[in-house]
Structure 1
Amino acid sequence: MTAASGSTADPSRSAAETRALRWIAPLVLLGLSILSIGTRYWVPTSLFWDENYHVTSAQKHIAGVMYMESHPPLGKMLIALGEATLARNAELDTSALLRADRVEQAQLPPGYSFAGVRLASVVSMIAAVMLLYATLVLITGRRLLGFVFAALPALDNALVVHARSAMLEGIQLAFALGAICLLAFALRSGGRVRLRHYIGLGTLVGLTIAVKLNGAVLLLLPVALFVAEQWPALRESRWRGVAKRLSAAVPAFGLPLLIVFFGSFYVFIATSTEVIPGRTYKASAEYLQHLREHTTWTASGFRAGLRDHLRYMAEYSDGVPRLDVCKPGENGSHATQWPLGGKTINYRWNREIVKGVSHVEYTYLVSNPLVWLAVLGGIVLSFTLMVGHVVFGHAVTRPRDYHWLVLFTCLYLAYFAAILQIGRVMYLYHYLLPLMFGIANLAVLWNYLFGDGLAAGRWHPRINLLLLLLLVAAGFAWFAPLTYGWPLSTSQMEQRMWFDVWRLEPVR
């Protein structure tokens, strides 16, 4: 009787413990993300890098002022939403922001708060971390593994710097991770792919591209979804059924994507009708007429505005100079240097002399090398596994993980294949999107290699996971002064110059 009653109680206790553990990992991850990304994100209280452009764009959205820019409008609209929501600067004179495309710190009114314009990026990046966790749990079924690798973006210095700014990358990454998470949900074990999954995927990919055009690499996701869904039919050459499904899947994905992408332009063009004298951006006479008559919401007005905005984006891109590594102060870098963290960018600095010793507060775009080198190693190993299977016929031990490795590796390599075709100067932060692909790939690769030990409950693979997390956290802490603007002396800065390819330079 005792044994019987004991055996009935144990499963209940075990189930309760399991339910509790399901909440612990995401709650701790959320707390870590808020701590690293959200704590005092309004510091530094000064503009840096593309904030000089995006802060003015956001203010123009709020005031309904027409402008043209090199990126689609959605990211700036969300930055404006954060500013309007907090309204910290509502009583200040921000009219100078409406008369310039690039604003200097001196043009901001005294007491200007950055809490509003940086809010969208902060919230989005925290959401991206949580979506990565959900994605990895859906793919691997392992919460500890999902927690450890989802913590990597929250402990990467470059990602955190950009997340804590009024820039576009943090916003874009949330939509990109949302798309990948939806794909993982659609392809979960025991699930069935439906047209609503294509609709949701098209919406999220459209949102990603509506922030920055480099998100177009995610157009590989519906291909992966369709191939995975139709693989039995493709193997058996049931082409009629495949064609029928394709005829439904393409519009289910494509129409929401087009609606979201062009819809963001429509909202922008319809609501931004005030023209600042002398700032017409070579708009056509037809578009200017609609602006004067406040009819940009009509079909003809939208068509004229969209044509001019797309033309401006193309001309702007063509006018950006090429990379010139011989130019003094060149902040750009070749894409082949990005996986190693090159070239870092000193976004802003403030120097003070304390007792004859120079101390500098930096906001520096520098990687956590423990994350970036692990990602690079993971991509190399995944590619090696693919070559071994395709070329040499090596057996695949975990087919589900292997297929995800193929997808993430292809996303990573496809991004570089596209970027290397671009002639204009590019910067290290253009690597942040494929970096997230690489982190997801690294997690799946870990499960591919050590999943059996994790499934068996062995402590050795669990301890290795936690040791990896501790190493990454130590790397983040070492470079944290460059992320949060904590003062460093010249010698302390030199201690952080780990690789020549970084070209990290102290301010003397």
Structure 2
Amino acid sequence: MKTFLKTYARFLYPAVILVLSFGVYFTYYGSPQAMFWDENYHVASAQKHIDGVMYMEPHPPLGKMLMAVGEVLFGGNGNVDKSKLNETDYLNGDQAPPQMTYKGFRWPSVVMMAISVLFFYGILRCITQREWLAAAFTSLVIFDNALVIHSRAAMLEGIQMFFILAALYYFVRVATDHIHEGKKILLRHYAILGVLIGLSISVKVNGMILVLLFVMLYGVDQWQAIKQWQWLPLAQRLAVTVPSGVVPLLLVFFGVFYIHIGMGSTIMKDRTYKASPEYLAQIRAGNTWAPGTFMIGMRDNWKYMSEYADGVPRLDVCKSGENGSYAMNWPLGKKTISYRWDKNTVDGKTVVKYKYLTGNPVVWFSVLAGIILSSGLIIGRFIYGNAIKDERLFFWICAFTGLYLSYMIAILQIERVMYLYHYLVPLVFGAINLALIFNYVFRDEVIANNRHTIINASLFALLVIGVFAFFSPFTYGFGLTEDQFELRNWFSFWQLQVVR
């Protein structure tokens, strides 16, 4: 058995991880058969792609396009009249056909998030060279309650996470091949990375944080020249790497918008989204695929996105029912969001099925601890000149700590109200960083495949799974009594609210 595991470990670990991931993300993903949170927006937008109706939205359109593909292929709503979805940007439950199912719209997010855990595993496998360590810490993204509930819905984060982790994996793979094996970093590597980053941005613009990967890849590529301050070779390389990465990124981003604008061949009643007369005239003339129409439509879409962002209110913690929260509070899970609840009486007891955005506290608190430790390590190295026992591993810790902190600093500059799920992207950065910190602290034991270290990593993964299961009623909508709810109300700053 031991020989078998060693021989086939490279296949067994990913296979087990994928089975677990699909089991967690696919279970009951069609429930509830009703919309919650931003599904009310995205379901309506996706249907407009299916029916060729022009619309504009604050987010880029790729996520809704993929939801439309899921609905066409797996929706099961062939006999349902969905015309009401084209007449609104926010679909109320009363407007939605009662027999309508949302599985098709949710399908792309569920599948892509479930598969993306393999990228997470691959990132850790490339850096640490240890399958068992990568597998143990992959539990952080498979069994986080917030990631699961949000990605099992017709929302954007699960789709975007696929492209984010794909970009991170590709960057890590190229960089490690260069660092460990001396393979040359080519211009096509920058181009492919640009495509993956462009896909992420085409879902949500917060994917712009991945532009930092270009900087990091250039740093790995030109490290020897940087250490020797060879300005001319650095400038010459920069002159070709920047367009090699940025041009594919822009082609993908604008290509997605070109398809979006071309598909919008019908104007539904008076829903013009403040589009210019020139754009509306081209739509009515049937010229939506013309390059000139794209230029006009892109301008109008960008204007709409900007005006929408400016019109979003600021956070108001004094407002009754405010679901937004300060970014500085996110690492502790404040503030959770009640997406939906359904109350029933069973044997004289009130039982409520909650859909609550709340994270796995073991995951979230461990990620925060990892960021604190890695920040201390970095400060100790660059401020106090402390010695580093593994420079390559230290580089990766700097990279993912930098991504985490850069995202959080950027978010803090935004004045509009933000929500807890905006933390899911840096949470994944922090989860990778946590595995690297574990590897750094127990470096010698990890290299030696020490049995006790493997057991400890496995026990941590089991703890993550156990706490996920304990909070799973909030994730899957299992019924809870008031006492069962309070048993899970661990911290007042989560602001969980029981339904009586």
Q: 1:109 aligns with which of 97, 119, 132?
A: 97
1:134-145 matched pairs, under 5 angstroms: 134-145=122-133
3-state SS of 1:425 partner: coil
* CA-atom RMSD in angstroms: 1.1
1:35-434 matched pairs, under 5 angstroms: 35-188=23-176, 189-190=180-181, 191-434=183-426
- The residue that corresponds to 1:453 in the other structure is 445
> Following the alignment from structure 2 to structure 1, what is the Cα–Cα distance between the partners of residues 417 and 400?
26
Tell whether 2:477 aligns with 1:477: no
> Following the alignment from structure 2 to structure 1, what is the Cα–Cα distance between the partners of residues 138 and 195?
24
* TM-fit CA distance, 1:255: 0.6
Change beyond 3 A, Cα 1:24–1:321: same
> Following the alignment from structure 1 to structure 2, what is the Cα–Cα distance between the partners of residues 19 and 244?
45
* TM-fit CA distance, 1:501: 1.3
Contact 1:332–1:427, Cα closer than 8 Å, also in 2: yes
Q: Which amino acid aligns with 1:212?
A: K
Structure 2 residues not aligned, in runs of 5+:
none
Q: Which amino acid aligns with 1:227?
A: G
> Following the alignment from structure 2 to structure 1, what is the Cα–Cα distance between the partners of residues 3 and 213?
36
Contact 2:262–2:289, Cα closer than 8 Å, also in 1: yes
Change beyond 3 A, Cα 1:154–1:14: closer
3-state SS of 2:470 partner: helix
- The residue that corresponds to 1:32 in the other structure is 20
Change beyond 3 A, Cα 1:483–1:14: closer
3-state SS of 1:146 partner: helix
Contact 1:337–1:501, Cα closer than 8 Å, also in 2: no
Cα deviation code 1:157-212 (max 9, x no counterpart): 00000110000000111100011100111111213311111011100111111100
3-state SS of 2:200 partner: helix
Q: Which amino acid aligns with 1:196?
A: R
Contact 2:75–2:105, Cα closer than 8 Å, also in 1: no
* TM-fit CA distance, 1:151: 1.8
3-state SS of 1:363 partner: strand
* TM-fit CA distance, 1:90: 2.0
TM-score (ref. length: structure 1) = 0.96
- The residue that corresponds to 2:459 in the other structure is 467
Cα deviation code 1:357-394 (max 9, x no counterpart): 10000110001000000000000100000000001111
> Following the alignment from structure 2 to structure 1, what is the Cα–Cα distance between the partners of residues 19 and 195?
29
Moved more, 231-240 or 220-229: 231-240
Moved more, 449-458 or 13-22: 13-22
Q: Which amino acid aligns with 1:330?
A: E
3-state SS of 1:312 partner: helix
Contact 2:75–2:101, Cα closer than 8 Å, also in 1: no
Q: Which amino acid aligns with 2:151?
A: A
Contact 1:206–1:258, Cα closer than 8 Å, also in 2: yes
3-state SS of 2:94 partner: helix
Contact 1:222–1:253, Cα closer than 8 Å, also in 2: yes
3-state SS of 1:44 partner: coil
Q: Which amino acid aligns with 1:421?
A: Q
* TM-fit CA distance, 1:259: 0.4
* TM-fit CA distance, 1:111: 1.9
> Following the alignment from structure 2 to structure 1, what is the Cα–Cα distance between the partners of residues 71 and 2?
47
> Following the alignment from structure 1 to structure 2, what is the Cα–Cα distance between the partners of residues 17 and 178?
27
Change beyond 3 A, Cα 1:342–1:17: closer
> Following the alignment from structure 2 to structure 1, what is the Cα–Cα distance between the partners of residues 75 and 346?
37
Moved more, 230-239 or 51-60: 230-239
> Following the alignment from structure 2 to structure 1, what is the Cα–Cα distance between the partners of residues 5 and 107?
36
Cα deviation code 1:264-295 (max 9, x no counterpart): 10000011110001100111000001110111
> Following the alignment from structure 1 to structure 2, what is the Cα–Cα distance between the partners of residues 175 and 43?
26
Cα deviation code 1:48-78 (max 9, x no counterpart): 0000000000000000000111100011111
> Following the alignment from structure 1 to structure 2, what is the Cα–Cα distance between the partners of residues 350 and 16?
49
| Percent identity between the two aligned chains | 49
> Following the alignment from structure 1 to structure 2, what is the Cα–Cα distance between the partners of residues 367 and 406?
25
* TM-fit CA distance, 1:14: 7.9
Contact 2:75–2:103, Cα closer than 8 Å, also in 1: no
> Following the alignment from structure 1 to structure 2, what is the Cα–Cα distance between the partners of residues 507 and 404?
45
> Following the alignment from structure 1 to structure 2, what is the Cα–Cα distance between the partners of residues 15 and 307?
61
Change beyond 3 A, Cα 1:192–1:19: farther
> Following the alignment from structure 1 to structure 2, what is the Cα–Cα distance between the partners of residues 196 and 300?
30
> Following the alignment from structure 2 to structure 1, what is the Cα–Cα distance between the partners of residues 78 and 264?
19
Contact 2:48–2:86, Cα closer than 8 Å, also in 1: yes
Q: Which amino acid aligns with 1:177?
A: L
3-state SS of 1:358 partner: strand
3-state SS of 1:251 partner: helix
3-state SS of 2:222 partner: helix
> Following the alignment from structure 1 to structure 2, what is the Cα–Cα distance between the partners of residues 55 and 126?
21
* TM-fit CA distance, 1:355: 2.1
* TM-fit CA distance, 1:457: 2.2
> Following the alignment from structure 2 to structure 1, what is the Cα–Cα distance between the partners of residues 164 and 328?
23
Change beyond 3 A, Cα 1:235–1:181: same
* TM-fit CA distance, 1:451: 2.6
Structure 1 residues not aligned, in runs of 5+:
1-12
> Following the alignment from structure 2 to structure 1, what is the Cα–Cα distance between the partners of residues 451 and 57?
53
> Following the alignment from structure 1 to structure 2, what is the Cα–Cα distance between the partners of residues 126 and 450?
30
Q: Which amino acid aligns with 1:139?
A: I
